[in-house]
Amino acid sequence: MTATATLTRERPFVHERALCESQHVGAGSRIWEFAHVMEGARIGDDCNIGGGVFIETGASLGDGVIVKNHVLIWDGVTIEDHAFIGPAVVFTNDRQPRSRFLPEARRRYERRDTWLEPTLIRRGASLGAGAIIRCGVTVGRYAMVAAGALVTHDVQDYQLVVGSPARPSGWVCRCGTVMDGSLVCLDCRRSYQPIDGSIRLQRDGAPGLQGGYEV
């Protein structure tokens, strides 16, 4: 299949200059030039994998994930549906890395569970360009990590974090708009309710909700 081939939902598209070794790439997904997807990596439906992206064996992407150019996604990283991963984002998976061939460290690397620290990016979250995500953290649903941030701790649902190390700087709507203290989105008019140090979506102003709250 060439780069000019018609894109269809029935088959994933792999650019002729990409290397895709995985058999687990969903319908409608697109993998662009110079990307490398290793055997055993999983990519859901309707994902877009930009040029120069590397996805290692053991990484998992849900449906509708956007991965911009030159992102590194390692074993142990799980990215849920509809997340956005900006250009040059870097993940890690070992907090105390050594060469596995170093004699003093070989025992540590005999088993995957003695060194690997999983990372979870929840549904709808966005990671800005050049962000670094330390292993072992969870970035909550619809959260937003600013460009260049260094994430060393969990990020709550809908939370905006900035800086190095990343620190809370407000709340964002599902549509991506940063909200003021009223927790009402000035763009789409969704409103939110504080709860246990986080927020959750209310019915008011949120199209399609049937009643009560949606978490």
Domain 13-96+107-174 class in CATH: mainly beta
CA-angle at 196, arms to 62 and 91, nearest 5°: 35
Tokens for 38, please give them.
Answer: 């290793």
Instruction: Give DSSP secondary structure letters for 87-115.
Output: TT-EE---SS---TTSGGGTTGGGSGGGT
Which of 143-152's residues contact partners 24+ apart within 8 Å by CB, and which partners?
143/172, 144/172, 144/176, 144/178, 147/86
**Distance (Å, whole) CA 10 – CA 29:** 10
pLDDT of residue 210: 41
CA-angle at 122, arms to 120 and 128, nearest 5°: 90
Distances (CA, A) of 166 to 140, 152, 180: 14, 7, 20
pLDDT of residue 209: 47
Q: What is the pLDDT along the chain (215 residues), one digit of tens a residue?
A: 444 444 546 799 999 999 999 999 999 999 999 999 999 999 999 999 999 999 999 999 999 999 999 999 999 999 999 999 999 999 999 999 999 999 999 999 999 999 999 999 999 999 999 999 999 999 999 999 999 999 999 999 999 999 999 999 999 999 999 999 999 999 999 999 999 889 999 855 545 544 444 55
Q: Which amino acid is at 16?
A: E
pLDDT of residue 57: 98
**Distance (Å, whole) CA 79 – CA 208:** 25
pLDDT of residue 10: 74
213-214 and 126-127: which strand pairing? Answer: unpaired
pLDDT of residue 207: 52
Q: Where are the domains of the chain?
A: 13-96+107-174, 175-215
pLDDT of residue 68: 99
